[in-house]
Structure 1
Amino acid sequence: MRIDLHVHSTASDGTNSPAELMKLAADVGLSVVALTDHDTVAGWAEAAAAVPDGLTLVPGIEVSARWLGVSPGIGLHLLAYLPDPDEPELSAALRRVRENRAGRARRMVDLLRAGGIDVTWDEVLADAAGAPVGRPHLAHALIRRGLVGTVSEAFAPQWLGQRFRLPKEDIEVFEALRLITGAGGVPVFAHPLAHKRGRVVPDGVIAEMAAAGLAGLEADHPDHGPAERAHARDLAAAYGLFVTGSSDFHGTNKPTGLAVETTTPASYERILDLATGACPVTPGAPGAVPPART
């Protein structure tokens, strides 16, 4: 089995539609793929309706969280696998995050305009095409003006990485764990040691997260070097967590290919054993949206 448990679609900040992702996953020989758009389940139904023979879809969410043990807090992402998409508390929390992200993006447009860059809110909205607005959509505006060549360049400190960036209002991490597990989902800490992205939480916080319901660590990730992968495995062994590997595929928004990192069947089985929210989707499964487990 080849298993990639972290991919993004146009429902958040990827460049492939959910249906296109299902075809791509099959084309590269994946057996299992998890759709984990940021703070939304908007792509689940389209993906579920497009799952081809030989592929299983794991519906998920990449939840924006924050550890508040230092000031300013440290942002982190939790991959929530197979939660109930209709659980009221989780749904409300994710809606607040999306609404905050839209307001933040609009204020960042104002910052860009104040800095002499004639970006308009209407063009950013058009680029998002109904998905939650985020920094990649602002990056596309900079690319169109020839100021940067790629989304990665747009995220540099002189652009959207620092100068024109505003802080997010994410879900406090232990509240996020409570919400995910309360919705029957299985939480895995995404790229927990990716120092190249910025500050990471201390090892002791991961121990506290494990005690609060964290189930796994994403050890094999394109932003982890050999030492970070080894350290993630050591932490997982110390705290009784399983490890996963994932591409974090975003289409052309990032240079990482689909299925460049994969998860073992044993870790995938752990997710299936722990989940009580939604079900994986295979061809011919009834309904477009994964049903809640009984």
Structure 2
Amino acid sequence: MSGAPDAVGEADLHTHSTVSDGTESPTRLMEQAAAAGLWGIALTDHDSTSGWAEAAAAVHETGVALIRGMELSTRSGFMSVHMLAYLVDPLDEGLLAETARIRESRLSRAEEIVRRIGRDYALDWDDVLAQTAEGTTIGRPHIADALVARGHVATRSAAFEGILHPRAGYAHPHYAPDPLTGVRLIRAAGGVPVLAHPGTRGAERVMDEDSIARLVDAGLFGLEIDHPENRPDAKRRLRELATRYKLEVTGSSDYHGAGKPNRLGELRTSAGVVERIIAEASGAEPLIP
């Protein structure tokens, strides 16, 4: 893009709707952003841009700016690594093909998890479908909600700490490209890639420096350091890496509605960084009322 628009403000750059594993529609999410007094949000549903049109329709009504994006699944060995992809071209063929493959794998993985759980608990696929909306990218959070509805656990978080934890033996990974491929896909689609919540497992589990350097060479823009689930020791390490590799620092809530305790707008990205994201993107325009 030729440059950032006037009157850019702070934004919460990581939110989810019912298109993936949030509990609020894109319209309701925009309304909640207005109630929180936010200048803007990024809608970043998992591996999908299907919520963009509905959220876009609410921009002028709510007065909230929309940075259209997604949270792209990638995988490094056994570790899930998520990439926030801002202002990508939703019709880019490479990105479309890869996200379709990821969603198909997510679906088959979810069906297999439910089959495994169903051997030991009263749970079937209809229970999971009851927790979704039309067009939802189905994943483990919906299985968690079904477990809550069935009374097997008290909350979504409890499901992830128990039945859906890898040690329980029911869950297994879905397909995702490696992080380097993820960054390249996002850049090829005109988007701006940021490594999502990279410090949730503590400093010892932060991605190694050589891997970060390779991502930077491929076009990594920033690190989502100000995230409610990043641990303090990891944040210190990540800020060192951000300084060394001249990466931008973003902040966001990772809001899922009732699906997580995270509060919309509790952490935000500065107006200056939002401007730089907009200026670097060529895949889609921000929508500003």
TM-score (normalizing by structure 1): 0.91
Q: Distance in 2 between matches of 1:100 and 1:107?
A: 11
Secondary structure at 2:131 match in 1: helix
- What residue in structure 2 maps to residue 75 of structure 1? 80
Q: Distance in 1 between matches of 2:178 and 2:267?
A: 28
Q: Is this contact kept in 2: 1:74–1:199, CA < 8 A?
A: no
- Residue of structure 2 aligned with 1:169, choices 171, 175, 180: 175
- Residue of structure 2 aligned with 1:226, choices 223, 229, 232: 232
Q: What is the CA distance between 1:61 and its match in structure 2?
A: 0.5
- 1:239-265, Cα deviation, whole Å (9 max, x unpaired): 111010000000111011001111111
Residue 248 in 1 paired to residue 257 in 2? no
Residue 100 in 1 paired to residue 105 in 2? yes
- Residue of structure 1 aligned with 2:219, choices 190, 210, 213: 213
- What residue in structure 1 maps to residue 159 of structure 2? 154
Q: Distance in 2 between matches of 1:219 and 1:211?
A: 20
Q: Distance in 2 between matches of 1:143 and 1:216?
A: 36
Q: What is the CA distance between 1:229 and its match in structure 2?
A: 2.1
1:266-285 correspondence runs (5 A): 266-283=272-289
- Residue of structure 1 aligned with 2:244, choices 220, 238, 244: 238
Per the alignment, do residues 281 and 22 of structure 1 end up closer, same or farther by CA in structure 2, a change over 3 Å counting? Answer: same
Secondary structure at 2:207 match in 1: coil
Q: Is this contact kept in 2: 1:192–1:218, CA < 8 A?
A: yes
Q: Distance in 2 between matches of 1:146 and 1:122?
A: 15
Amino acid of the structure 1 residue aligned with 2:71: E
Secondary structure at 1:263 match in 2: coil
- What residue in structure 1 maps to residue 3 of structure 2? none
Q: Is this contact kept in 2: 1:74–1:201, CA < 8 A?
A: no
Q: Is this contact kept in 1: 2:75–2:176, CA < 8 A?
A: yes
- What residue in structure 2 maps to residue 34 of structure 1? 42
Secondary structure at 2:173 match in 1: coil
Residue 124 in 1 paired to residue 120 in 2? no
Q: What is the CA distance between 1:237 and its match in structure 2?
A: 1.0
Q: What is the CA distance between 1:161 and its match in structure 2?
A: 1.4
> Alignment RMSD, CA only?
1.6
- 1:177-196, Cα deviation, whole Å (9 max, x unpaired): 11100000000000112106
Q: Is this contact kept in 1: 2:16–2:256, CA < 8 A?
A: yes
- What residue in structure 2 maps to residue 66 of structure 1? 75
- What residue in structure 1 maps to residue 194 of structure 2? 188
Q: What is the CA distance between 1:201 and its match in structure 2?
A: 2.2
- What residue in structure 2 maps to residue 49 of structure 1? 57
- Residue of structure 2 aligned with 1:264, choices 254, 266, 270: 270
Q: Distance in 2 between matches of 1:129 and 1:28?
A: 25
Amino acid of the structure 1 residue aligned with 2:132: A
- What residue in structure 1 maps to residue 208 of structure 2? 202
TM-score (normalizing by structure 2): 0.92
Q: Is this contact kept in 1: 2:10–2:274, CA < 8 A?
A: no
Q: Distance in 2 between matches of 1:219 and 1:259?
A: 15
- 1:69-106, Cα deviation, whole Å (9 max, x unpaired): xxx43210000000000001101100110010000000
Secondary structure at 1:176 match in 2: helix
- What residue in structure 2 maps to residue 289 of structure 1? none
Q: What is the CA distance between 1:12 and its match in structure 2?
A: 0.2
Unpaired segments ≥5 residues, structure 1: 284-294
Q: What is the CA distance between 1:53 and its match in structure 2?
A: 4.9
Residue 111 in 1 paired to residue 137 in 2? no
Residue 4 in 1 paired to residue 12 in 2? yes
Q: Is this contact kept in 2: 1:66–1:76, CA < 8 A?
A: yes
Q: Is this contact kept in 2: 1:139–1:160, CA < 8 A?
A: yes
Q: Sequence identity of aligned pairs in percent?
A: 46
Amino acid of the structure 2 residue aligned with 1:24: Q
Unpaired segments ≥5 residues, structure 2: 1-8
- What residue in structure 2 maps to residue 143 of structure 1? 148
Q: Distance in 2 between matches of 1:139 and 1:89?
A: 31
Amino acid of the structure 1 residue aligned with 2:32: L
Amino acid of the structure 2 residue aligned with 1:265: A
Per the alignment, do residues 212 and 246 of structure 1 end up closer, same or farther by CA in structure 2, a change over 3 Å counting? Answer: same
Q: Is this contact kept in 2: 1:53–1:282, CA < 8 A?
A: no
Q: What is the CA distance between 1:282 and its match in structure 2?
A: 2.4
- What residue in structure 2 maps to residue 18 of structure 1? 26
